[in-house]
Chain A
Amino acid sequence: MSAENSTSKETPNPAADGSELIRFDGVMKRFGSNVVLDHLDFTVSSGKHVTLIGPSGSGKTTILRLLMTLLKPDEGTIKVGGEYLTHEERNGKLVPAGETHIREVRKNIGMVFQQFNLFPNMGVLRNITEAPVHVLGLSKDEAEERARELVELVGLTEHLDKYPSQLSGGQQQRVAIARALAMRPQVLLLDEVTSALDPELVAGVLDVLRDIAHTTDITMLVVTHEMNFARDISDDVLMFDAGRVIESGSPEKMFSDPEHERTREFLSAVL
């Protein structure tokens, strides 16, 4: 049993019941004249682990960044848990959402970055407790208790008092995972979280993520080049090309018998 579930005192994380959690509707994103997402539609059910694959530049990172509100869509809407993420309904009309609304919806989403992005001026413990205290309003004690459990989950108990610069990349990334989970998000976004790591440190991080995938009901959107890992944890694999989903299916089907020529080409290049 994971520390993550056994300590749920409050109520966020409504049990994953397979209902629709994420919905992209006609999402369009351009950078200048470069159309990166072209009227993209897709949905993710709660509790599912979905891996996004596709060639470099196909827009995988852009999708995760849109969900994290680090980018805004040029057109279309994104819903999370039935709520519009960057829009609000006012007098029956959809208008761009205010900061308060975005913040509320965004609390359901956590992200782990390729470059970890830990706060270097804070120790491990405070990296993890900072947001639970200042965003969720937990007391310092509650937040620290939660942090300690998560640090144990990611196997770093003896490093609790260190600063990020005193940790290896793999350890830093495991702290970053704990930091994201401390917010008890419904959705965890993972964008190539092992790409910046030395090869010998990759397995440790992937093991932690496998554990989380198998023992919690958190929904995951994963971008990774680790195809074995993707096969282990995914319920669905989405193949992107030129800003659209060109094929999707179970990892078994996608990795052994893809239908689309582009998928075959892509997989033969990475597998």
Chain B
Amino acid sequence: MSAPAGTFQERVDKALGNAQLKVALERTTGNARRKRAAAVEAWPDFVAARAAAAAIKDHSIDHMAYYLEMFERNALASGAQVHWARDPDEACRIVIDICKAANAKTVTRSKSMLGEEIGLPHALADAGIRRVETDLAEHIIQLAGETPSHIIWPAAHRTREDVAILFDQYHREKPTAHDVVSMVGSARKELREDFFAADVGISGANFLCADTGAICTITNEGNAELTTTPPRVHIVTAGIEKIVASTEHALQLTRLLVRSATGADLTQYTTFHCGPKRPGDLDGPDQFHIVLVDHGRTEMLTEMPEMLRCLRCGACLNHCVVYRAIGGHAYGGAYPGPMGSVLTPVFDGLEQTRDLPSACTLNGQCRQVCPVDIPLPTMLRHWREQSWRAGYEPKTLRAAIGLWAYFAARPRLYQLAQAVALPAMRLFAKGGWISSLPLASGWTAARDLPKPPGESFLTSIRKGGTP
């Protein structure tokens, strides 16, 4: 498995030079956008629902200690073992220790972005434990030796033609044909034995329900339950921000999460897992471990609490003009797109990752589609300001912004400059987007700029209209 290499600019250039990538991304994100739009249209009060969903998440974040304690109490009462990890190393060590104590040779894993965030695949490899990814997309990228490029569709960068080549090469029984259904059937056969050969199954969690001590997974393939039920040990890794007050809150959020991700009312499997096998049970794990991870989240409580609402639905990726042009690997972190550009600086430090918040057109689409109304553009601006203040920005940019500041401090001059610039920029716009602009090709090569309004905000306010 190779993490994306090179500088951000190098990765972007590589992505833009890959014509197949644009095809693959457009097929997946285009399908996702269409389905989401249809689902949202069928919910007339969706805007109010987003505010209500944000309030539900904010409630659990405001009372995070209270609910985490309640969750822990109930989970322990169900027979679960609860572990706490401050950082990725600690989290991986806990998981590996559990695996070693269980004498595990093979672990199955159902998709978990937190697992990617903490580097669990590497940790398992280092410990000599065989890892079998069971989610179809994760299986594809495991065969390709890659990392996920989307938080919902980890293989969004792969066309069906790519998948056919991989399955032909690696599956013990080759796919009978190269249509999507035949290839899905081939993966079913390939992974069947592994579900039962595994000693440990590892999953993530979409929600931690304080009222029951159960963790909730939302999936569609059936691989999650086949990962968590047959092995002797089930390990859950989850960020502490996944806490919600109750099963009811979890289900209410699921309504928005699923519509925003795939456009369905509910995905096939909404499953709550609470503790190990009980007396009389014919299946289920003997041990059930929950590893709760901080990794910057307690800092976010002060710095950017709204980001802790994130449901990991992927809608902001699907609607981001930058993501759709460069794909997930160019971002370099576990989480790509707008939400990734906010989160990666928290995890990896702003100095190394300051390019991410800068690679954004600030067109506001991400916030509009976010089911929990996270002000992503505001947060990206916050990182830009921080980067500026810390002196991380290169000299050329500082000079350009210095020039802007000169005009901005002189309103009349600024308006005059804008009066000249706006009509000029509109000349380059097609269908609401500017895909090339003289002297700014470094920007527009990878990004489309939104077409500017016919007049400036100030001019339209003066005329008494709404901008």
Same assembly: no
Q: Name B's A-contacting residues (CB within 8 A).
A: none
